[in-house]
Amino acid sequence: MLNKDIKKKIDDARDTLVGVLPLPTDQIEIITIALIYKFMDDQDEELRQVGLNEKFFTAELKEFSWQQLMSNQLSADSRVTKFINGIEAIQKAKHIPALFREIFLNAFLKFRDAKVLQRFLDLIDGFKYDHSEELGNAFEYLLKTMGAQGDNGQFRTPRNIIDFMVAVVDPTKDETILDPACGTGGFLVSAFKHILRRNTEGYETAKIELENYVAEGIPVYWGAKLSSSQRNAIEKNIAGYDNTPLMVRLARVNLYLHHFGNPQIHEYNTLNTDTRWKDKYDCILANPPFMTPKGGIDPHDKFRIQANRTEILFASYILQHLNPDGKAGFVVPEGIIFQTSGDYVQLRNWMIYEAGLWAVVSLPAQIFQPYSGVKTSIIFIDREIARQRKEILLVKVDNDGFSLNTNRNEIKENDLPEALNWLELCKTDLPRFVKSFEVNKDNAFSKKIRLLHRDEFARLDNYKATSSAYSFCKKQYEKTLKAKEELETKLEVEPDNGIKAKEKYERQVSDFYKQTGINFLPDTEDKHKEWFEENIKVAAIEYGVNLNNINKLTKELLDFIDWQRDYNLSFDKFSKSEQESKHYDLVPLGELCEIFDSIRKPIKESERVKGIFPYYGATGIVDYVNEFLFDDRFVLVGEDGAKWLSGEKTAFIAEGKFWANNHVHVLKPKKEILIDTYLVEILNQLDLSQYITGVTVPKLNQEKLKSIPIPIPPLEIQQKVVDDLKHIYKLIEGCNLLNENYNPVFEVEECWVTVSLNDVCEITSSKRIFQSEYVSSGVPFFRTKEIVELSNNEPISLELFITQERYDDIKKNFGVPEKGDILLSAVGTIGVSWLVSDDSPFYFKDGNLLWFRNFKNINSTFLKYVLDSIFNQKNNALSFGAAYNALTIVKLKQVSIPLPPIEAQEKIVKDISIDLEAIHQAKKLKEKMQLKIKFIIDKVWGR
């Protein structure tokens, strides 16, 4: 555990060194070397205490032991000399394992101040290698002081959490074990110690204690039941990967100091390389990094889920690298548990139904303090167990024995021991677990346990099952009506030339029959809905809620309903309060409100007399008039169906004196059961597509409005929903303001020269690619659309490709964009720039995009920022006022720009990059808040 004592020792060591070693990297190097030096001697001391010979400071190294180095008989200057000579001697000592010679290779003392060295070594002498935490804690705190951990998404897993996970997974002496993101090797050391315990006399009574973390060493008699060959096999079976060379070196030292003769720690990028892809393991333990770099990960194509998020890729890697009877325990950020985007849902579906998920443990936020306050859970996989049962265990841990703040002080409250007991009982004896749980269901910890059938995570409620099925059928029906209208229009204009329209209509009718199961085309929407109610509704509920297919639904309809399932693994979703929310009454809106539609009426624009009273339409105030119809507080709901279908929120509050036209419904909620602001939130978050009538002119009429079911929790819960959402909307509004209004600007100094774009780069376009040259796959081909997506860091939806041969020919004879070049949109959305981020092959459309290359005396990133500041996306105008419908090379070459010295350009680039990172964080916060909105609304619906 990273405690105050360790922090103080490291801080004191750095403060001692800062006068002679101002660079943090130099401080880290000497502190690391000194710690390892000290820990090697600690290991020798442990061997001496049990009567064995030293492994390190023996023979020619004996005079350089830590004890000799710290002897009071040495003068300060002599200690400097001995330390320098000791480092050199370790590098040359043949009896020292190659691993340690490599650690000390090229290391030397970069200062000669004897007093500073004396104070420094005294501080290092305060570290004791009583257990594996000291090395990892000390080193990772060093990283944190440099700010490296936040950048890399790395943070140390607390020892008690590691030991808890290892105890649940229970690796055995014959199993191969991997940590694919091992850091300093904490999981691997814990797994090794667990195996030793299990093979020690009296293990059953000396089982790991999780009441609170207690430092413990590894007595040499641990694992006494193991033969020498078995010990060697265990060491070979334990492996770790990390992509940071220094972490790899530290992990290898850590394992060696735990009696590993040749630690199997490899420098390997788990997500970007595939040289070890074929390696499979019986047991995987990990706390992978969660941080996804800007732009996402670019993984190879062997991942089952082709995502670009670090946490999804690591989860996919772990699941794909387990043997058929494999087991795993790994930490995931909370997004893996409940986020509803496609990759997350696909991952949860895979874990629940195929990969062997048997338990999820929810951990409290702040458990990784002081590194991070992120909320996490532990995923437990055991394929053998999962094949034998259909239940999944959810456990909630509120406390782990330490305060949930940056200090992480020891406290009494600790759920880990009881959680471990229940997990082990569930794992080994499910019937006994069920019986024991029933007997103890009133105990405090029992409320933190849920045993659920795996289908429970796929279950939809009645409303969602019905609405999604109806939405699908209605969409197919409307597409068919549209095709019919197109045919009728075509035949009316060209009676003899409607063959294609007729073929399209017949295909659509055939698809409508096939996808919905209906065998006729209803005359009206009401008849279509009547048919749905009689033939589909019950079956949709049966399949959506109970996952029973009664063979009344088409494959397309079944797939669409399945697409609505989110497989949420959140403990809170299945908590008692959440279950109670499922019992909120669903009341038709017509029973909750008085509707005043007969009073509203339009005023033609030519007949309006300007005044002070708001004149409301479907989306808000459209004018001000000198009369009013209403004088109170009402909920207004736009009746424009096209707005609702497009996702626009058109329910809002109007208060005071105002006029309302015929495009907006006027409602007065019954205050005793419904809060008006709550109603607005529910309507604006609801998919109202099934209530929209009309195809040519979509409309939300009064009859349909009255039929909309609204969940009615108690008024205090309604108000809490409103208050929570109001706070979230303010945060989102702030993020939007930041995102929308930021424009990279910098102050132009008088001493800067002014040049034309033609002076600093070549502006050209591409070789023309004809439509006949497009292929279904190959080298991506970009247009304005793709560049806009790339510039916004959005996933691009590639549609066009050219052959590799055509690309190679262009590259050879004309050249292609390279890393650092700029593409600028010249047609459509004008002035969007994209800096080519890597050397991945692509080509682009001539005329659509202009290519900046061959830069002279200008930083290409700086030039991109200049272009971004020149183009105002709101009016597509150049800064000096010359508006263009399209950009041309000739016009761009003439554009003047300020050109500071290259050093000033680099500083501007650095400053703007800091701003852009703030923008990126604002976007992430907005995404998080949008998920929170969905969670709040879903909870009201009991989803």
Secondary structure of residue 151 in the 3-state scheme: helix
Mean pLDDT of 814-839: 89
Over 80: is that where the pLDDT of 150 sits?
Answer: no
For residue 446, is pLDDT > 80? yes
Q: How confident is the model at residue 927 (pLDDT cuts 50, 70, 90)?
A: confident
- Distance CA(221)–CA(231), nearest Å, equals 13
Output Rg (C-alpha) for the chain, integer angstroms.
34
Number of CB atoms found within 10 A of residue 269's CB:
13
The structure tokens 């007065």 sit at: 668
315: nearest Cα among 359, 357, 273 = 357
Which has more confidence, 83 or 940? 83
Preceding amide of 901 cis, omega within 30: no
The tokens for 333 are 């950020």
3-state secondary structure of 266: strand
Instruction: Determine the pLDDT at residue 525.
Output: 86
Residue 529 has pLDDT above 60, yes or no: yes
pLDDT at 300: 83
Is the dihedral angle over the CA atoms 481, 483, 487, 490 positive or is it negative? positive
Amino acid letter, 548: N
Q: What is the pLDDT of residue 817?
A: 94
Judge whether residue 930 has pLDDT over 90: no
Residues paired with residue 266 on neighbouring β-strands, in sequence order? 241
Mean pLDDT, the chain, integer:
85
Buried b / exposed e over 570-604, threshold 16 CB at 10 Å, is bbebebeebeebeebeeeebeebbebbbeebeeee
For residue 350, name the pLDDT band (cuts at 50, 70, 90): very high
What's the average model confidence in pLDDT over 28-36? 85
Q: In this predicted model, which residue has the larger pLDDT, 822 or 250?
A: 822
* Full 3-state SS string of 368-391: CCCCCCCCEEEEEEEHHHHHHCCE
- pLDDT tens sequence across 847-896: 889 999 999 999 999 999 888 888 864 434 443 334 445 788 888 898 88
- Within a 13 Å sphere around the CA of 583, how many CA atoms are in the beta-carbon half? 5
Q: Is the pLDDT reported for residue 301 higher than 80?
A: yes
Q: Tell me, what's the pLDDT at 98?
A: 81
Low-confidence winner among 279-283, 375-379, 627-631, 794-798 (lowest mean pLDDT):
794-798
pLDDT in tens, 536-561: 988 998 898 888 877 889 999 999 99
Question: Which of 114-128, 399-413, 640-654 shows the highest mean pLDDT?
Answer: 114-128
d(CA 639, CA 642): 9
Q: How far is 633 from 656, CA to CA, in rounded Å?
A: 6
pLDDT (0 to 100) of residue 581: 45
What's residue 202's pLDDT? 67
| 355 vs 924: which has the higher pLDDT | 355
Alpha-carbon distance 593 to 784, whole Å? 48
Residue 97 — very low, low, confident or very high, per pLDDT cuts 50/70/90?
Answer: confident
Residue 864, both tokens: 């991109």
Q: Give Cα separations from 630 to 624, 668, 880 (angstroms).
A: 14, 11, 49
Confidence band for 14, pLDDT divided at 50, 70 and 90? confident
φ, ψ at 334 (rounded to 5°):
-60, -25
Give the model's pLDDT for residue 882: 42
pLDDT over threshold 90, residue 391:
yes
451, 395 Cβ separation under 8 angstroms: no
Q: Mean pLDDT throughout 653-676?
A: 93
Tens of pLDDT along 206-231?
444 554 444 344 444 678 888 889 98
67, burial (CB in 10 Å: exposed 0-12, middle 13-18, buried 19+): exposed
Res. 152 pLDDT band, cuts 50 70 90: very low
- Residue 135 has a pLDDT of 57
Min mean pLDDT across 114-128, 153-167, 835-849 is at: 153-167
DSSP-assigned states of every residue in 655-703: EEEEEE-TTEEEEEE-TTT--HHHHHHHHHTS--GGG-B-SSS-B--HH
Label residue 724 exposed, middle or buried (CB < 10 Å: 0-12, 13-18, 19+): middle
Query: What value does the mean pLDDT take over residues 114-134?
Result: 81
One DSSP character per residue, 46-73 reads HHHHTT---SSS-GGGGGGSHHHHT-TT
pLDDT band at 290 (very low <50, low <70, confident <90, very high): confident
**Predicted pLDDT of residue 852:** 95
Rounded CA separation 264/256 (Å): 10
Q: How far is CA 392 from the centre of its chain?
A: 24
Distance CA 512, CA 535 (A): 15
Q: Is the pLDDT of residue 234 over 50?
A: yes
- The pTM (predicted TM-score) of the whole model is 0.59
Contact of 138 with 126, CB cutoff 8 Å? no
Of residues 840, 844, 800, the one with CA closest to residue 298: 840
Q: Using pLDDT thresholds of 50, 70 and 90, give the confidence band for residue 397.
A: very high
Of the pLDDT bands very low, low, confident and very high (cuts 50, 70, 90), residue 123 is very high
- pLDDT, residue 658, reads 95
Residue 269 is encoded by which pair of tokens?
């990028």
Tens digit of each residue's pLDDT (9 = 90 or more) over 569-601: 988 777 644 444 455 777 889 889 999 988 888
How confident is residue 149, by pLDDT bands cut at 50, 70 and 90?
very low
pLDDT the model gives residue 139: 59
- How far is residue 399's CA from residue 419's CA, in Å, rounded to a whole number? 11
Residue 343: how many other CB atoms lie within 10 Å: 19
Token reading at 209 = 């204690």
What's the whole-number mean pLDDT along residues 461-486? 85
Does position 129 have pLDDT exceeding 80, yes or no? no
CA distances from 112 to 231, 682, 883 (A): 44, 71, 67
Once rounded to an integer, what is the mean pLDDT over residues 426-431? 93
